[in-house]
Amino acid sequence: KHGNDFVLEGLNRIVALLNKYNVRATFFVTGDVLEKYPREIKKLSLSGHEIASHSYEHKMLNKISNQEIKDNIAKSRKTIKRVTGRYPRGFRAPSWSITKDLFWVYDLLDKWGFSYSASLFPIYIGAYGSFSFPTEIFRPREGKKIIEIPTRPWEIFGVRIPFSGGVYFRIWPKAVISFFIKSLNKKNKKVMIYIHPWELCENIPRVKMSFVGKVISYWNLKSTKSKLEFVLRNFEFDSVRNIIKS
C-alpha cells in the first residue's frame, strides 16, 4: 500500500546485525509472515536461527474463544513444520495474552511437543501483564515438562521496571540498558531482548491512534538499530533453544 515492505526491510537489518556479531536468535513468527515469506524463514532456520510460534494470527488469546486458540496454535505449528521441516519448540502468545484463566494452554503446548513458552509479562500494564506472575523461569503446570520464561524486568525495592524490548527498550538510554543487563547477569540472571522488525524502520507510515498508541508504536524508533547493535556488541546472546540445551 505504501510501496515499502517494512517486515522484510526490518528483518534484513536484524539479520545483518546478527551475522555481524555471529549471534543465533529465536524468531517468534506469526502464520501470515510464514505464508508470505517462506523462503526467508526457511533460510533463517537453515542458518541456525530458531523459528518459534507466535500463534497463527496475531490475536490476543484472551480475546478469542478456546477453540480459536487451539486452531491458531495447531495451524502455526503445522505451518512452521511445512516451511522449516521441524516442529517449533517455543511459543510466545501475541501481546503477552496468556492470563491465569488461560494456563490450560500450557497443557496443550506440552502435549504438542513445545519445550517452553515466553508469554508472560510480570508487570501489569493495562492491556496485558500481571504483577502476580513470577519473574523467574518456572513450570506453570505440575507434572508437565514445559517451562515458562517470563520477560525479565529490573527490580528495585519491589518495583519492576521493563526495559528489554518494544517501547521500553526504545525509551531507556544505552547506558541504563547496559546497567540493567549487567546487574542481572551478575546475579546469574539471563535477559531476553525482543525486537519487532518494523521497529528498525523509522520511516514507517504514521497511523491515527491514541497518544499512548503513538508512544508504543513510534517513540524513538530511530534508536532501535543502534541499541540492538550496542547490546549485541557488548553482551553474549543465543537462541532460546540453544540456551535451554546448554
| 2: number of Cβ within 10 Å | 8
Closest by Cα among 156, 149, 115, 119 to 135: 149
Q: pLDDT tens, 52-101?
A: 999 999 999 999 999 999 999 999 999 999 999 999 999 999 999 999 99
What tens digit of pLDDT does each residue of 143-160 get? Answer: 999 999 999 999 999 999
Helix axes 104-111 and 66-84, enclosed angle (nearest 10): 30
**Is the distance from CB of 190 to CB of 243 less than 8 angstroms?**
yes
Asked whether the whole model's pTM tops 0.75, one would answer yes
| Predicted pLDDT at 217 | 74
| Regions of the chain with pLDDT less than 70 | 1-4, 211, 214-215
Closest CA to 79 of 58, 104, 98, 52: 52
Residue 22, phi-psi category: left (phi > 0), alpha (psi -120 to 50), beta (remainder): left
Phi, psi of 216 (to 5 degrees): -60, -40
CA distance 148 to 134: 9
